[in-house]
Amino acid sequence: MSEKYMVEPDLQFIDDVMGLGGESLKKCFQCATCSVACPIAPENKPFPRKEMIAASWGLKDKLVGNGDIWLCHQCGDCSTLCPRGAKPGDVLAALRSYAITEYAQPKALGKMVNDPKKFWTLTAVPAVIFALLAIMTMFGGSFMAGIFGGELWYHTHDGNPFPGIAASNFISSWFVDMIFVPLAIFVVTVFAIGLKNFIADMHKNALLEGKTAKEKIDVKEFLMTLKTVLPKIAKHRQFTQCGENRERSTAHMMVLFSFIGLFIVTSVVFVGVYFLHQGTPYSQLNPIKWLANVSGVALIIGGVLMVKQRLDKKEDQVSSYKDWYLLGLVLTIGGTGMLTQMSRLGGSAFLCYTFYYVHLISVFHLFAYLPYSKMAHIVYRTVAMTYAEYAERK
């Protein structure tokens, strides 16, 4: 018998997938209604029926490195039509959760991020770091300004602390950057290792299952394909093909573009401070400030809409800790960002610094634990969609 047809069930894998929200997977009796109903499954080897049988047989290797689980956008059309209530949309979501923790190293950190009991331990790390940095800024600011020079240390034109309330008077922007720049390097490294393995597994599976005719991955051609996929992601083309959860596209788009807007703001401020010697905080009339405010408001509205949609669908769709963790972070980051600014403009240093402290902790959560949380889907789905296009998986 060829290796292709050998079945080596991983019973722990079945339990894990069921625990991640795929508890109904055993109800499937392989009628294939779901694969016919799915608006975005390709004609050649469509999903999710084949993933349902592989999951119930515990075929971990076949599923973790399966690009198709990422092509699913969890519209729920298949779950609504499934005659057995097997909820294939939720099973694929559980498989994606499992795949994220499988590819992100170290795995122990991934387990912690996805364990609700470890939430406060993970929160204590940035809470202690930023508390220490606040003490050092407030009590050792003039000492540091003496070493680095006032202009560099305070990020002001006159080399003195910003007169009045400013987040950087509470925790120096230097300190904040000293935390987040190494974190960014760590996150990129974890993703790079994970993606290298993911792409290799995806290609191996695609060849084995006859989903592609391309023997090898041409890196240059693969990267060129990314250019054609990104506009489709930006337009949310897959979401709009949904029947059941079509309204998710607006909320998802708001959150995605808010993060892009905030990323642009952070990059511009970083360049302004370190290369153009521009002081902070920016005037309310500055276009970058407008972009920050519009992105912050859109993030909150998009997050609230997503929470509402999950609550409205609680009978039909499983919501796991991973879903609520990410939505909680989105709302906390948006809310505390806006409240920090409002309390600064309102003249309350105590409220401004308290909200800023919580804001930094939540941004640390999002950033440092990104390769292990549901947020990692941005990276894995983009790569899987690019691979599908590259492999001519129609």
Per CB under 6 A, residues contacting ligand SF4 are 28-34, 37-38, 40-41, 47-49, 52, 72-78, 82, 84, 86, 88-89, 92
What's 161's DSSP letter? P
Report in angstroms the alpha-carbon separations of 185 from 96, 210, 266.
Answer: 24, 37, 16
Q: What's the rounded Cα separation, in Å, for the pair 58 and 7?
A: 9
- For residues 362 and 123, the answer to whether their CB atoms sit within 8 Å is no
* Least distance from ligand SF4 to the Cβ atom of residue 240, Å: 12
Report, in Å, the least distance between residue 58 CB and ligand SF4.
16
Please, which residue, 323 or 329, has the CB nearer to ligand SF4? 323
**Burial of 28 by CB count in 10 Å (0-12 exposed, 13-18 middle, 19+ buried)?**
buried
What is the sign, positive or negative, of the torsion defined by CA atoms of 94, 57, 102, 119? positive
Q: Shortest Cβ distance from residue 97 to ligand SF4 (Å)? A: 14
Q: Which is nearer to ligand SF4, 250 or 354 (CB)?
A: 250
**Pick from 70, 33, 22, 91: which is nearest to 238 by CA?**
70
- Of 41 and 171, nearer to ligand SF4 (C-beta) is 41
Phi-psi region of 348 (alpha: psi -120 to 50; beta: other; left: phi over 0): beta
What is the closest distance, in whole angstroms, from the C-beta atom of residue 393 to ligand SF4 in the complex?
14
C-alpha separations of 230 from 30, 44, 69, 71, 379 in Å: 34, 23, 19, 14, 11
Instruction: Between 47 and 356, name the residue whose CB sits nearer to ligand SF4.
Output: 47
CA separation, residue 196 to residues 42, 49, 170, 176 (Å): 25, 27, 41, 30
User: Which phi-psi region, left, alpha or beta, contains residue 155 (left: φ > 0; alpha: ψ -120 to 50)?
Assistant: left
Q: Which is nearer to ligand SF4, 27 or 214 (CB)?
A: 27
CB of 29 to ligand SF4, least distance (A): 5
CA 39 to CA 72: how far, in whole Å?
A: 10
- How far apart are alpha carbons 313 and 360 in whole angstroms? 32
- C-beta of 39 vs 272, nearer to ligand SF4: 39
The CB density around residue 283, as the number of other CB atoms within 10 Å, is 7
Annotate 185-215 with DSSP letters as a single string.
HHHHHHHHHHHHHHHHHHHHHHHHTT----S
Q: Closest distance between ligand SF4 and the C-beta of residue 312, in Å? A: 17
Q: Which is nearer to ligand SF4, 31 or 184 (CB)?
A: 31
Q: Which residue has the tokens 């790569």?
A: 383
CB of 380 to ligand SF4, least distance (A): 15
Q: In the complex, what is the shortest distance from the CB of residue 226 to ligand SF4, in angstroms, rounded to a whole number?
A: 21
Task: Pick between residue 215 and residue 315 the one whose CB is nearest to ligand SF4.
Answer: 315
Closest distance of CB 98 from ligand SF4, Å: 16
Nearer to ligand SF4, 75 or 338 (CB): 75
